[in-house]
Amino acid sequence: MCAVVKADAYGHGAAQCALALESEGAKWLGVTTTDEGVPLRDAGVRCRILLMTGFWRGEEEEVVRRNLTASVWETWHVKDLDQAASRLGSAPQPVHLKVDTGMGRLGISLEELPAMCKLIQASPHISLEGFFTHLASSEVLDAPDVARQMERFEQALGVVRAQGLSPGLCHMDNTGGMVSRPETWKNMVRPGLALYGYTLPLVRAGQLTNDVPPFPLRTALSWRTRIVSMKQVGAGQALGYNGTFVTKAPSRIAVLPVGYADGYNRELSNRGRVIVRDAYAPIVGNISMDLTLVDVSAIRGVEIGDEVLLIGNRGSLSVTAPELAGLCHTVPYEILCAISKRVPRIYAQ
C-alpha cells in the first residue's frame, strides 16, 4: 500500500499522519510534489515517498539527496535525474513510470512507451521500480472507461516487458478502485480518502449501489469550534451580510468563530447544519470570513463556550464531509483539503 498524504494529508496534517502511518507499518507514502516530500523527510519520515506528480526541472538533486522517488513520464525527467544521480555518485535512482491509459492527464502515451523504455535502459543511474496509471472513474462499477484503462494498462505492461524491463511494483488504484475492484489491485494500491475514513459512493447503471459490501472505515477527523457569543433577537431581524436570512419569530442565535477563511465553505450559508449539545442547529445567514451564525432556539441550555461540531458525530447525530460536499456541489476531498491553516490540528492517540 502506498498511503497518500498529499495536500497536507487531505487537511489532516501530513507530517503527523505520515509518522502515524509509518509507525503502523506503511512502507510507502504518496505526495504530489518535491515541496510536499521534503518536509516529511525533515519531520523524520523514513519510509519511501513517491512524488506522484513528478518534479520540476532543477529539483532533481534534491529528489536524489532526500531519497524521494520520482514518477516519470517525460524524457527530461529521466535524463535530468540520471545526470543528478551520476553527479552525486548515488546508487541508481528507482523511478515509477506513469502511463496515460485514458485519463488524459499525466503520463506517457502507449506510442511513446517503447522509446521511453529504451531511454531508461540506456540510463545507467535509473532503474525502473514501478509502473502505474490512474483511473478516471474507479467508483463507477460499470464504467466502460475503466475496462478500457485496465486493458491498456496490461497492453502497456506488455510493451515494457517486451523491452526487457520488469518493474516490481504495478499500481493503478485510488480509494474507489481499492474498495470496489480487487482485479485492479495489482501489487500496490494508492488510497488517500479511505485512510481518512471515507469512500466515494459506488455507482452502477447511473445509480448509487450497495451491491459491494461496505468497506469498514472510521472517520479520522472531527472539526470542532465553540460558541463565542449568543444573542436573543426578535422576529424580522436580518442576520449577517446582506441580510439573506430574516427571523420569522423571536430566536436565539449562536455566533461561531469560524468562516470561509477557515475553509468553512460559503455555500453552506443558509443550508448547512452543525451539532450543538444533542441537536442539529441550522446555519442562518451568510457565512462570513471569520464568523457563522446558527439558530439554537430549539435547543435548551445553550451557552457561550459550548462545543459545536462542524464535522463529526455525537450519539446518533452526525455531520460528514460527504454531506457538506453535497450541499457545496463538490466532493468530500475538497471539504477536507479546504480546512485552512488557521484551524489548529489536535491529535488524539
Ligand X SMILES: *Cc1c(COP(=O)(O)O)cnc(C)c1O
Residue ranges in contact with ligand X by CB under 6 A: 4, 6, 52, 134, 174-176, 190-194
Report the residue number whose CB is nearest to ligand X: 192
CB of 135 to ligand X, least distance (A): 9
Nearer to ligand X, 191 or 272 (CB): 191
Nearer to ligand X, 191 or 312 (CB): 191
CB of 63 to ligand X, least distance (A): 17
The one catalytic residue in 27, 231, 241, 347 is 241
Nearer to ligand X, 125 or 181 (CB): 181
Cell of 206: 447511473
**Exposure string over 142-155, b if 16+ CB within 10 A, otherwise e:** ebeebeebbebbee
Is 33 within 8 Å of 16 (Cβ atoms)?
no
CB of 32 to ligand X, least distance (A): 7
Chain position carrying cell 543511474: 125
CB of 45 to ligand X, least distance (A): 18
Distance CA 313, CA 321 (A): 11
- Residue 340 is given by DSSP the state -
Chain position carrying cell 459512493: 201
Nearer to ligand X, 63 or 200 (CB): 200
Nearer to ligand X, 4 or 299 (CB): 4
Contacts of 283 (CB under 8 A, 6+ apart): 268, 269, 270, 271, 272, 273, 274, 292, 293, 294
The one catalytic residue in 6, 260, 264, 333 is 6
Is 97 within 8 Å of 128 (Cβ atoms)?
yes
Cell of 249: 419569530
| DSSP per position, 194-260 | GGGT--PPPEETTEE---SPPP-------EEEE--EEEEE-TT-EESGGG-EE-SS-EEEEEES--G
R_g over Cα of the chain: 24
Whether 79 is catalytic: no
Helices 14-23 and 34-42, packing angle to 10 deg? 60
Whether 241 is catalytic: yes
CB of 170 to ligand X, least distance (A): 13
| Coil vs helix vs strand at 92 | coil
Distance CA 88, CA 326 (A): 50
CB of 254 to ligand X, least distance (A): 34
Q: What's the one-letter identity of residue 140?
A: V
Bridge partners of residue 10, in order along the sequence: none
Nearer to ligand X, 32 or 222 (CB): 32
CB of 193 to ligand X, least distance (A): 4
Nearer to ligand X, 11 or 191 (CB): 191
Annotated catalytic residues are 6, 241
